[in-house]
Structure 1
């Protein structure tokens, strides 16, 4: 059996890089106040005017991002699932408008049930998960400088059924507008919106993790799926 010193050295360097990437970094604290630019006053005023307004129920809402590995040494890494169960926001259906935000420091990484739903066949250790989360917030998302992801929806004129939403996302200091297919369901108590789409990290000025010239890397394209539940607020006409 031949021994390839150069290959062994590369693998050793790759492992060292993974360990360094997963090392504990200073914990990014979630902000206690909402983003200054979040237009809550708009929705409260609409409610006073008797218009229907819905508020997102974080307990029944979920945003999941699937981040997949790539590169010739991808087997040394893991795919990841990043999730938020603390979506905050409002919907004004008469205006075809919604505004939401997520505090990045409250996102969770690699919940086993969500990994299974994504079809991932590995499970990182707890220390790997904590290291990945810290690395994501500190180095990739720079959540200390950009603590929120803000989402604005316009043109949602339909109250139910399959729709195409114009979704404006502000993340990492960059803003992009995407057309997102979604399904709206409504009942006597409120409404739910669900959908799935992909985007590229570099569109938001985010540099995907890469080591050894891309031998170990994270794909630029990520998949995002969501389900948001918003009960109707009392007081509307």
Structure 2
């Protein structure tokens, strides 16, 4: 084989590998441990007081998404990704402006088509690419077996549209300012809250995934967005709030 032909063969193999799944390889045969059937009961929030009205988050009506984008010199050969939690659990106290909720990393879904469209992602990863993304995200990047929960505790500041939020991810807690839009029913028994912000993986001790010396990589910055519905009449197991840290 001539040197020129050899280079063309190597390039073709590299392109095939990268196009298959951005910087994420297919998972090995052994899967990660399955998530538990039910979350353990959580104690009441430390800030809860007698007589304070609590609204419980409704998982089926709530959503949290994290969008990560491709980077590096060969980014055009990969995909951006959106991961989502449909299993938020926690409580909201409207009067004092407090909220506490959490979700399990291994219950997150990767690249649901409707959410990719909503996020404006234009490429279409294959099923194998999505499986590889999920496996590497949970294992090599987030270490989900060691740090299974992500928790958020928010408190209203002087500005009613901005909350101070303690976000615990990968065993690290950071406090950020979180813009939140809150809409509450007239009777006070139902509330909807939504918001978004930009975070850096490195702020939580996470090393963004990269291969080929960084030519294919995940950007450090990630976009977190949420839409939460909470009601007074929810009493499902695990709808308490205080996440263990």
Judge same fold: TM > 0.5, yes or no: yes
* Counterpart residue number, 1:142: 143
* Residues 105 and 149 of structure 1, relative CA distance in 2, 3 Å threshold: same
* Counterpart residue number, 1:130: 131
* Counterpart residue number, 1:181: 179
For residues 158-173 of structure 1, the aligned pairs below 5 Å read 163-173=161-171
Asked if the contact 1:52–1:233 (Cα under 8 Å) also holds between the matched residues in 2, the reply is no
RMSD: 2.7
Q: How many residues are aligned here?
A: 226
* Residues 15 and 217 of structure 1, relative CA distance in 2, 3 Å threshold: farther
Matched, 1:87 2:88: yes
Q: Quote the offset at 1:22 in angstroms.
A: 2.2
* Counterpart residue number, 2:114: 113
* Residues 166 and 124 of structure 1, relative CA distance in 2, 3 Å threshold: same
Asked if the contact 2:45–2:100 (Cα under 8 Å) also holds between the matched residues in 1, the reply is no
* Counterpart residue number, 2:209: 209
**1:136-160 C-alpha deviation (Å, 9 max, x unpaired):** 11111100000000111113678xx
Structure 2 residues without counterparts, runs of 5 or longer: 235-245
For residues 11-50 of structure 1, the aligned pairs below 5 Å read 12-13=13-14, 15-16=16-17, 21-25=24-28, 26-32=31-37, 34=39, 38-40=42-44, 42=46, 46=49, 49-50=50-51
What TM-score, normalized to structure 2?
A: 0.82
* Counterpart residue number, 2:240: none
* Residues 15 and 206 of structure 1, relative CA distance in 2, 3 Å threshold: farther
Asked if the contact 1:63–1:85 (Cα under 8 Å) also holds between the matched residues in 2, the reply is yes
Structure with bigger helix share is 1
Alignment partners' CA distance in 1, 2:233 and 2:174 = 30
Alignment partners' CA distance in 2, 1:199 and 1:41 = 25
Alignment partners' CA distance in 2, 1:157 and 1:89 = 23
Asked if the contact 1:28–1:137 (Cα under 8 Å) also holds between the matched residues in 2, the reply is no
* Counterpart residue number, 2:79: 78
Q: Which moved more, 1:92-101 or 1:179-188?
A: 92-101
Alignment partners' CA distance in 2, 1:173 and 1:33 = 22
Alignment partners' CA distance in 2, 1:209 and 1:136 = 8
Q: Quote the offset at 1:8 in angstroms.
A: 6.1
**1:24-44 C-alpha deviation (Å, 9 max, x unpaired):** 1432422456478x543658x
What TM-score, normalized to structure 1?
A: 0.85
* Residues 149 and 227 of structure 1, relative CA distance in 2, 3 Å threshold: same
Asked if the contact 1:65–1:224 (Cα under 8 Å) also holds between the matched residues in 2, the reply is yes
Alignment partners' CA distance in 2, 1:157 and 1:60 = 28
Asked if the contact 1:14–1:211 (Cα under 8 Å) also holds between the matched residues in 2, the reply is no
